[in-house]
Chain A
Amino acid sequence: MEIKKSATAGTMESSDAFVMVSPADELITEINSVVYTQYGKAIEACVKETLASLGVTKGKVAVTDKGAIDCVIAARVETAVKRAGGEN
């Protein structure tokens, strides 16, 4: 799936994540999290795994995590990517 335009998903509320995606020439991920020290790498792995499952190879993906569990982060990334691909 291609990131054709900028899109967002999620919220800044507790246990949620806010995801912003935009077109880019390479794959760039940015993670901001209230629990970055403990879970930063795990969050990044979750984001990259979700992007791979959607076939995303290029684009900027910025995640602001507010203590979300993996399946919530994955849902927000998927929603943002699908919105950016014009699917939703």
Chain B
Amino acid sequence: MRRSMLFIPGNTPNLLMNGDILGADAVILDLEDAVSPAEKDSARILVRNILKNLRYQGCEIIVRINPVDTDFWQKDLDEIIPLKPDLIMPPKSSSGDYVRTVSDYIGKLEEKCGFEKNTVKLIPLIETALGVENAYDIASACDRVAAIFLGAEDLTADLRCVRTKESREILYARQRLVTAARAAEVDVYDTPFTDVDDLEGLVKDAETAKSMGFTGKASISPRHVDGINTVFSPTEKEIAYAHEVMETIERAKKEGKGVVALRGKMIDAPIVNRAKRVLEMEKAIFGGED
């Protein structure tokens, strides 16, 4: 389960040391935009040492590397892959070929380290107009892709439009990414809400993303993590309904009924699948039996 992903700058020891106590389901250790060109070497070595020596509890580790058109991305992977992060985030992902270039290089390093193939997954960051248009190509580029992620700040600069809190300017990109991800059967993550102090706005923005089909949302502030986790968790009402659906299905099976209804509405495959997803989330959040 990955509802929230929190960015942590890769050259800040005090934040890196506490990455797993901030409540996020995943942390993104950032070697790209949060690190100045002069400190790329320093951040890469620091993040490597942190991963080697600290055991992050209860959250996934994602490392955002530098773009493929820089001299840094292969050096980033050389240092980071041996530490077996859960996912690598290639920024500025513009096509399937771009993603496969990163994936092939990771594959070589995995082989060298004796890891099973596709141990380290990919979550390409789509933040250009070309990337949005190629979203399905990116999401289905290779088996290593586990999710795609929308980055609206760079995207709106590329689109030459103003980034607003209302986010009308990224409506198409959001819909395009959700559709591409679902077609490719991978997860999809929404762009961070950048006003750190506006918690009400954050919740509203996360609710919009959830209603559109996003799996979760990234954050640049630990203050946003709780709000994102709450929005992307099933409500008590949804959990109760999911249990009711599964109980009704079980009862119908025992009684040999082919078609069943709950509260006057027929229970079909999509309703059952949705109920299963809600119960999986319930188990991941609250624990419990299968």
The residues of A with any CB-CB pair to B shorter than 8 Å are: 9-10, 13-16, 68-72, 74-76, 78-79, 82-83, 88
Contacts and interface: CB of A to CB of B under 8 A. Distances in A.
Given A15-B14, A16-B13, A68-B13, A75 B49 contact: yes
5 contacts: A13-B13, A70-B53, A71-B49, A79-B41, A88-B41
Contacts of B283: none
B45 A75 contact: yes
Contacts of A79: 41-42, 45-46
B52 A71 contact: yes
B54 interface: yes
Interface in B1-58: 12-14, 17, 41-42, 45-46, 48-50, 52-54
B45 A14 contact: no
A14 B49 CA distance: 18
Given A71-B52, A71-B53, A9 B42 contact: yes
A14 B42 contact: no
Given A72-B49, A75-B46, A79-B45, A13 B54 contact: no
Contacts of A83: 41
Interface in B44-94: 45-46, 48-50, 52-54
A25 to B, nearest CB: 27
Nearest to B40: A88
Interface of B: 12-14, 17, 41-42, 45-46, 48-50, 52-54
B274 to A, nearest CB: 44
B53 A15 contact: no
Given A15-B17, A70-B53, A72-B46, 4 more contacts: A69-B17, A74-B49, A75-B46, A82-B45
Contacts of B13: 13, 15-16, 68-69, 72
Nearest to A15: B14
A72 B42 CA distance: 10
Contact of A71 (B41, B42, B54): B54
A69 B143 CA distance: 38
- Residue among B17, B45, B53 with most chain A CB within 10 A: B45
Nearest to A14: B14
- Residue among B17, B41, B42 with most chain A CB within 10 A: B42
A60 to B, nearest CB: 20
Contacts of B49: 71-72, 74-75
Contacts of A72: 13, 17, 46, 49-50
A16 B17 CA distance: 11
B42 to A, nearest CB: 5
Given A71-B53, A75-B46, A82 B41 contact: yes
Contacts of A9: 42
